[in-house]
Amino acid sequence: MMLNPGHLLRVISIGRILARHGFDEILFTLPLLKPLRFVRYLLPWNWTGRHYGPRGPRLRAVLEDLGPLFVKFGQLLSTRRDLLAEDVAEELAKLQDHVPPFPGAQARAIVERAYGKSVTEVFASFDETSLASASIAQVHVAQLHDGREVIVKVVRPGIRRVIERDIALMRFLADLAENYWARGRQLKPTLVVNEFEKTILDELDMLREAANASQLRRNFAASPRLYVPEVHWALSRPNLLVLERIDGISISNVAALRAANIDLSQLAASGVELFFTQVFRDHFFHADLHPGNLFVRPGVDGADPVFVVVDFGIMGSLSEFDQRYLAENFYAFLNRDYRRVAELHVESGWVPRDTRVDDFEFAIRTVCEPIFDRPVSDISVGQLLLRLFQTAQRFHMEILPQLLLLQKTLVSVEGIGRQLDPELDLWRTARPSLENWMKDRVGIRSLLRSTRENVPRWIDRLPELPGLAFDVLDRIKQGRIEVATHDEMLQEIRQEIRTVHRRLSHAVVGAALVLAAGFLYAVPTAAAGWWGPLPSGVWLLGGAGLVILLGAANGRRG
């Protein structure tokens, strides 16, 4: 990939920022500058030997100086704790997506352009002062003509162009890292950049976020403990999202929660249970849970408090397959059945089929036993999952994006829960959700539910069964039933047989031509011609036969 002039200017800017934070040695590892490494020691800021401090805070400062898109990238990197050193991951997790707002008049113009009419025709009022501002969009408060208050989330103008420019640059740097840095090939930065590109472009689509919010609202429509704001679909556009405005106490404001007479221990347990309900009941979960996106409404007349969530740009989902194996893994962990954990990883295909279960079991036990021997308040489920991922990587486990999102969100949920209740036992709180899921999906209840769901389809196809059965019996009788297999080793054997058969055919043809040449040689002829003393047919047939025989022999040796 080539850099255009715009990218080159951006690289120079990045170089200045790296040098300011003491990372200029990175620049001199690039192939182009490697022969000039001595120049680094001639640069004035390296003469005094000043101390820059730990690398984690410096790297966080670099990303903050590079701008909001790099901050977003750092936030994504912080979820890849299977790839990063612990001190770096901890610092990147502290990155805050606070960006200065763009002018309110510009936001109003974007709204009017989207609707093709004056903002006063759509809203009774529109506050040009932003309520919140982030790297992708900012939020304004508005009021509908019927008096209801809403928030209007407006995508930043020109943000797609900025994203495409910086993504191209990130991909260029990732390619350099993979080609010229020994650890780069192992970390696979191009895959991380691709994952980031998909995530950030998804966040640009407000209709996608609206669909996420609607789905989560529908999943918890009957829940008295979780509230999701209503989407105003008629007013939402690809670059505008209009949602019901909600109120509540920020989950991080512990003093206000206590003042509202909320039982913090019960609130923490309820929050954890709601998260596991999203994961195992609905296999669709909010994957960006942090204090800025989570609020609490105090209960009325002794009712339990209600959680309110916002910002639905990043959601996670699990397939039925991943869901089942994940639930069984958690359940095996709860019972310290490390053998079953190892078997589940192999059965699910998360690690290669030829992995030795005994070795994997021993590695998991080595990681988990020291953790389980600690007091409950010191056990971090998120950290346990991280250590498990790191252990599994030694056995060539390919970390799946949906599992990383789950691990990252679980760390956030656990952190929020421990802030409310330092003695929170996440295992005990999660156990009922896991056991209910296992009963519903694996036991007799699962069989009955599956039967009930499939009976209408079976009844619909029942009239076809006699005809299909007779058709199969006729095929068996006539010998026309074939068994197909996709076993890779069997396919290789078949290919080798075809190759040997082809070479054998060539050898037979070559030998036949040589024999024909010998026969012609034995027949007297008057014309030798310029071919020499032998008949021309002998030269042609014999030469062709030898070439074919040599080709077959060479192919056999290859």
Q: How far is Cα 533 from Cα 519, in angstroms, rounded to an integer?
A: 16
Q: Tell me the H-state helices in 159-263.
A: 159-180, 184-187, 189-204, 206-219, 254-259
Under DSSP, is residue 231 helix (H, G, I), strand (E, B) or coil?
A: strand
Q: How far is Cα 166 from Cα 135, in angstroms, rounded to an integer?
A: 13
Q: How far is Cα 164 from Cα 6, in angstroms, rounded to an integer?
A: 12
Instruction: Write the burial class of residue 541 (CB in 10 Å: 0-12 exposed, 13-18 middle, 19+ buried).
Output: buried
> Which distant-in-sequence residues (6+ apart) come within 8 Å of 287 by Cβ?
314, 315, 316, 405, 406, 408, 409
Q: Which two tokens stand for residue 269?
A: 């347990």
φ and ψ of 160, to 5 deg:
-65, -40
22 in Cβ contact with 16 (< 8 Å): no
The Cβ of residue 3 has, within 10 Å, a number of other Cβ atoms equal to 13
Query: Using the 8-state DSSP alphabet, how is residue 67 labeled?
Result: -
The residues facing 153 across adjacent strands are: 139, 241
Q: Which two tokens stand for residue 425?
A: 């036992």
240 in Cβ contact with 114 (< 8 Å): yes
- Max distance between CA atoms of the chain, in angstroms, equals 123
Q: How far is Cα 288 from Cα 313, in angstroms, rounded to an integer?
A: 8
Under DSSP, is residue 43 helix (H, G, I), strand (E, B) or coil?
A: coil
The DSSP element (H or E) to which 390 belongs, if any, is helix 381-394
Q: Which amino acid is at 386?
A: L
Can you tell me which residue has the tokens 């969009």? 137
251 in Cβ contact with 291 (< 8 Å): yes
409 in Cβ contact with 252 (< 8 Å): no
- Dihedral angle computed from the Cα positions of residues 27, 30, 34 and 36, in that order, rounded to the nearest 10 degrees: -40
288 included as an active-site residue: yes
Q: Which two tokens stand for residue 536?
A: 């021309």
Q: How far is Cα 297 from Cα 308, in angstroms, rounded to an integer?
A: 7
Q: How far is Cα 331 from Cα 340, in angstroms, rounded to an integer?
A: 10
Among 24, 166, 288, 311, the active-site one is 288
Under DSSP, is residue 98 helix (H, G, I), strand (E, B) or coil?
A: coil
Strand-pair category, 284-286 with 315-317: antiparallel
Annotated catalytic residues are: 288
